[in-house]
Amino acid sequence: MTLPALYRPNLRQALATLPLSPRSRRAIELHQLTTVADFVQMTKERFMKAPGCGERTWHEIEHRVCGYLAGRLGDPDAHREDDRPLGPLIGDPEVAHLLADAGLRTVGDFLAMPRAEAQRIPSLKKKRWEEVHAAILTTRRQPPAAAPLLPETLRRLTLRAAGVTEPLLQELLDLGCTTVGHALLLPATVFQQGGLLGPSAAVTLRLALQQLLRPALEPLEEEPVDPVTDWPTLRGRLLAALDDSSRDWFCLRIGLTDASPTAPRKHSEPHSEELANRRDEAVRQRLTLRAPSLVQRLRYEYLREIDAFDGLVRSDRLAVGSWLHTLAKGSGDPQLPLRLLAYCLPTEAFVNDGCLSAVPPRTWNKLRQRLRSLTTPRLLPRRLEDLAHELHSVCDPIARGVLTHMVSELCHLRIHIDEKRGEMVLPAQPLLARRLEELLVERGRPTSIEDLVFDYRERFQVARPLRLLAQLRRDDIFVQLDASVWSLRAWHVDELAQLKGAAETVVRLVCERGGKQSIAALHAGDDRTSWLVVDLVRHDRRVRWLGRGEACPANQERSQVLEDLLLDFRRAAGEVPMSRFLENQPEERKRLVGHLLAENRLFVFPSPDRIDVLTNYPFNKERLARLTHLVDDFLIARNGYAPLDAVIAEVNRCDLGGSWLQPTLLGELLRRHGAFEVLPGGFVSRSVLGLVGWLMRRARTALREASIPITVSELLAQRPELAEFTECLADLLRHDPLVQTPDGQRFQIA
């Protein structure tokens, strides 16, 4: 008999590769059965005539053979499983070397060797053998229930043509998977945490298939819905149960017509609120009596949405294909299904701030007010669980969806998952960071900084590349994948979790060696892995990030350059000229030394172009704290800013001042050690006031309106409110990159 081509490779499969007991293996050796075809052609009576070959042994072999054929006939290429290399399935290199020496290089070789013979391999322990056998079983392809529903074209598509990345492609090839169908047949345990491929492989494969199928699925989203539940049918069923007067009232109340929904309190007749409530109740009863299935279906979908999103229904998250989604899409009014549910279920559903929940409006307002008092900037960060506990006095229990919506959408705060403390509520995200996050979410994949700049300009007109790059580096919701590629951290949680071990090794090396260390030199891996490891190291509290891929131990207070500078000042035994000191520095250190002298808190300018060490002046940590507190209270009483001379007079009234305290010295102390801005003309202001920004915005507006170069006096004629700051305006304009001056006296917008 000629067998179909589909059966031939499976029938040629060696029986020794099936998981048989020692008794069954002795039986097939006695009958000289080597392949599945030999057993299929063997009759039960002939098999049981041999000694030691009973009915139980026959049923065991038959069960294994039938199970094998049932799993293989659905996949014509399933016989390739036994051709898989054994090495990638073994985690221990020593065991892989032992099996290779014994001639076991493929899965078929390993399964064909009886267990008793495998135990004779020197140094191969029983536990190691069982681990290899378990790895083979857990990676064996298993046809799911949905496999017959997939088209043959998709199942036979090669993984390389599907766009799978090269590292994952090689791992799948090692498991005997060459097509999309093979990968879909892998068991779920392979893609779980701790599995052979892990969750990151599932994410990568899912994204590849999504990009492959998206062009074909996008046109289907615009297809009309089932005519039984389309918008005209639903509208007709809603209105058919009502008479003419009730129908008009119903349309007006839920906004089904061009008129907006009317609230009962807007009626002007006596007792209008009570009459409106009675009329609403009559309409609800009529709908319940004449269209009970429709009302019950709406209630069922409402409860399903509430359960899916933890107590909150939003119009942008309605399930596709539901009646609520059809109402929103067909009418063109996303809020219509929410108003309809609130009208039909007056004791179960309430619309608050564009969302539907089981929280009445009065309780909703109390929750919002209480939450805002609990999330002031000075109280953050806080655990989300603690906030829920404190809100129980207002609403018990409070649904998690309602709480997270109020925190993120109404209070504009962030929810961050901390490994140790759980969900934490953090201060509001900057506007620039929110916009960048929106752009990345719209693209749906990691994006280069150049593309982000173009997208930002297209959406918001103006974008400065350096400003966007600084925000990407500053905010923890972003992660860098390459020299110019950025992504959202939430997309790479699994990858970062897998690289924690490598990052821990790098952190340990940095702490052991001390000093400035290059992260790239301490980690050997591809570019993507190196950037992710750098991100993990940068956020580790045991190291201090220095920028440019370098870090040092967190307990190392001073760098070698800073130590050398302090040694030079000890030798000088006093203040030195700033310009001459910089000229004597090595050429490669001039820029760094200049930055340290101008910004580091260990140094101070006692007078212009003179630099000194702070330890030469009577200010320790306690006295500096007193000074900043005193000046802050003084400025608050004077609208947030004052001349330096007035501040010195206030400081000299206590033991913090003296004849040695000059305006330049006091300004430097306040700038370096407090939240103050020091203006060139001798003014000091609180940083929260933003005085410099306020001055420059008005000065630029005046220059832009003039459209020709003008002097400071002409500028003050247009902006008399700036006259108080005449002495510092010229210096501020000279240092503004947006302002040009042809002669040093007249200024214009660049």
Distance (Å, whole) CA 407 – CA 169: 42
Distance (Å, whole) CA 680 – CA 206: 58
Residue 589's H or E segment, with its range, is: none
Which pair of tokens denotes residue 531?
Answer: 């950037």
Which pair of tokens denotes residue 89?
Answer: 């399935």
Per DSSP, helices labelled H in 255-322 are 272-290, 292-308
- 3-state SS class at 99: helix
End-to-end CA distance of the chain: 91
Distance (Å, whole) CA 554 – CA 511: 8
> How would you write 482-503 as a 3-class SS string?
CCCEEEEHHHHHHHHHHCHHHH
pLDDT per 10-residue tile (average), the chain, 750 residues: 44 71 79 78 80 80 75 55 69 71 72 64 68 70 60 77 79 78 76 75 80 63 51 88 88 72 44 83 90 88 90 90 89 91 92 93 93 89 90 88 90 82 85 90 92 92 90 90 92 91 92 88 87 91 87 84 85 86 87 87 86 88 90 88 89 86 87 88 86 88 87 88 85 86 85
Q: What is the pLDDT of residue 11?
A: 67
Question: What Rg, from alpha-carbon coordinates, does the chain have?
Answer: 37
User: What would the pLDDT profile of 87-115 be if each residue is shown by its tens digit?
Assistant: 666 767 777 777 777 777 777 677 666 65
Q: What is the pLDDT of residue 558?
A: 79
Q: What is the pLDDT of residue 75?
A: 52
Per DSSP, helices labelled H in 481-614 are 493-498, 500-513, 519-522, 527-538, 560-572, 578-583, 590-599
Residue type, 205: L
pTM of the model: 0.44
Distance (Å, whole) CA 732 – CA 638: 22
Most distant pair of Cα atoms in the chain: their distance: 119
Domain spans of the chain? 152-216, 233-358, 362-426, 617-681, 691-749
Q: What is the pLDDT of residue 27?
A: 81
Which pair of tokens denotes residue 225?
Answer: 């819905």
In terms of Cα–Cα distance, which of 710, 690, 688, 686 is closest to 699?
710
Sheet holding 422-426, edge to edge: 382-383, 422-426, 414-418
